[in-house]
A and B are shown apart, each in its own frame.
Chain A
């Protein structure tokens, strides 16, 4: 099933707040904020986030897809998940 972009962003944002920003309660995470640059997640946490995204949205990220372009921000994640779900529906 295709998930809307806004919903993907909100679900991932909530996940990030709950798991990686619990020590920064006043932090405002915007859709285009670079997660790594802002110190929101580190290279270890990205792995955890990708696992969450895979199970939450029923997709699978290949090794070469683990990149800034696909997971660097909430917007990037939403676009990547949307494309993955679309291609799964098409096939």
Chain B
């Protein structure tokens, strides 16, 4: 795993190594093991390396045999040994053992159709000097990030936005619509970002850049060709896919560890990794002082069961506020949740213990309908078929017993779910979450709201749905929305890639193997969510490898402390500074009067619900994000060419 960046100029005016050095420096955390540059008249690439495969020979940028194809790449191609054999059989001569070289020869052999053959998580740029085309691409589910900007006909790209900003040639400005998406979906849906003029390449998409024009095309589409019945060999097939996916994700020249949450999904990946790994598995967990978030009892049980050497990072309430600013620097977007913060600490621990690669259970809830939201969708539809039935409505109480028991919400609780939208609305499954999150918009200043020009992000989402969406069953519609609005824009980025890569740790996600996704999405939904039993088929299969207690454990949502973290005695000074009326006016998104009311309630300990806790985190993070990126800006010392592992150059020297 690494970081990439680059510049493509419209005309051959040169790309300076100093500018590339600044771009690389901004994302050095992604690749602390080395760096390199390609410097040309129109095209310059930078690369920072986290060495995992071919430690000695995998430096980048890298070219094909005649130097006409130049690659800078972040990620893993898990099936690289198979592709290498295929390419060698076709006459390609490899100089390294790295998976990067697959891209150079694969592009030469198959062009952009190479993407269909790749099994992995990747973002890359390939410069074809013969045709003067730059080819960029991102993996199917958006595991690895790739951002770009096109000011004045030039093209800038980077694994993180800060690389683009560090060039000094692209301005940082707030994208109001992007922020409005954060305050609805928890993250910004690609291609939009929180920065005006900076785009995120959509998952499963590639781009061809020639003569200043970028032509984008999707090479992978999510689909749900749901079968009526389970195939007879469904468990055997799942077994084969799981073993193969984990086996491929253990391919590395360094030991691979595992994150263990205590839930089903990461227990599966840890168990399979432990069985297949040549090393004693190293596992890592987050524990919380607060018992409402803590799962350490189950984590210990899993670690004992799989025989791993286990380490924990203990999150206290003050850990959240203390590192929130660092986390925002890496997420590059405001947040509504503090949940990325513990992930940041977990990656730090992992790296300190000498592990660069971890397997996690990310993706299983989306593939096998694990989230409560899916049950909620089914129950709400069931209730709305007979709205007068009190018995049906009480099913909602069963869904969130911890909240109902604490809250005595009664009829009001049910009302929230049943009035959130009509079953005919394509966003029906997600409207309670979207509408609850959007309550933070009550805090907008009138000017910010007016500047939005009547944007309706829910309307835009409805309008963006593919035609085939309308033919899917309700649960598959919900699964698609979850994949496209939350998994890639938030979970895989703010909680995933950014937190791990902040400490040079690569996350690998066996459940996000596209063969496994295609298997799961073709199953009857009843195989995935049977009644109110989530991930049914996964549990059935997991009885082969996990103890009963872990296999049958009910899903516990991953959450972290929020409001009290920022309002306890001794909370850092930046909290009050960020919520100060002058600071709020400077940013202009949130009303000082409204925020004063929220601050008063937070300080008094009254802001205990989702609505106000999300508002507080959203406001604080927007203030910090704005200060770091818009007010202060990205300023770094460039990485010098004389310290690079590799500097490739066109024959004609760069002009500057």
Enumerate chain A interface residues (CB-CB to B < 8 A). Answer: 18-19, 22-25, 36-37, 39, 42-48, 50, 63-64, 66-68, 71
Contacts and interface: CB of A to CB of B under 8 A. Distances in A.
Contacts, number: 70
Contacts of B608: 44, 48
Contacts of A36: 412, 415-416, 419
Contacts of A48: 606, 608-609
Contacts of B439: 39, 42
B411 A66 contact: yes
B111 interface: no
Given A42-B439, A43-B416, A48-B606, A23 B591 contact: yes
B438 to A, nearest CB: 10
Contact of B594 (A23, A42, A45, A63): A23
14 contacts: A19-B601, A22-B593, A23-B442, A23-B443, A23-B594, A36-B419, A42-B611, A43-B407, A44-B611, A47-B406, A47-B409, A48-B609, A66-B411, A71-B412
B586 to A, nearest CB: 19
B130 interface: no
Nearest to A64: B410
B413 interface: yes
B609 A45 contact: yes
B529 interface: no
B312 interface: no
A69 to B, nearest CB: 9
Given A22-B598, A23-B597, A44 B442 contact: no
B442 A24 contact: yes
A14 B403 CA distance: 27
Interface of A is mostly: helix
Interface of B: 406-413, 415-416, 419, 436, 439, 442-443, 591, 593-594, 596-598, 600-601, 606, 608-611
A63 B408 contact: yes
B488 to A, nearest CB: 29
Nearest to A52: B606
B655 to A, nearest CB: 55
Contacts of B598: 22-23
Contacts of B601: 19, 22
Given A42-B439, A44-B609, A44-B610, A22 B412 contact: no
A22 B409 contact: no
B514 to A, nearest CB: 39
Contacts of A66: 408-412
Contacts of B600: 22
A29 B197 CA distance: 42
Nearest to B601: A19
A68 B415 contact: yes
B597 A46 contact: no
B408 A43 contact: no
Q: Which of A45, A47, A50, A67 has the most CB of B within 10 A?
A: A47
A42 B593 CA distance: 21
For B409, B416, B419, B608, which residue has the most chain A Cβ atoms within 10 angstroms?
A: B409
B410 A63 contact: yes
Contacts of A68: 411-412, 415
Given A23-B594, A24-B442, A67 B411 contact: yes
Given A24-B594, A25-B593, A44-B610, 6 more contacts: A22-B594, A23-B591, A43-B413, A45-B609, A47-B409, A66-B408
Contacts of A46: 409, 412
Most chain B CB neighbours (cut-off 10 Å) among A36, A43, A47, A50 = A43
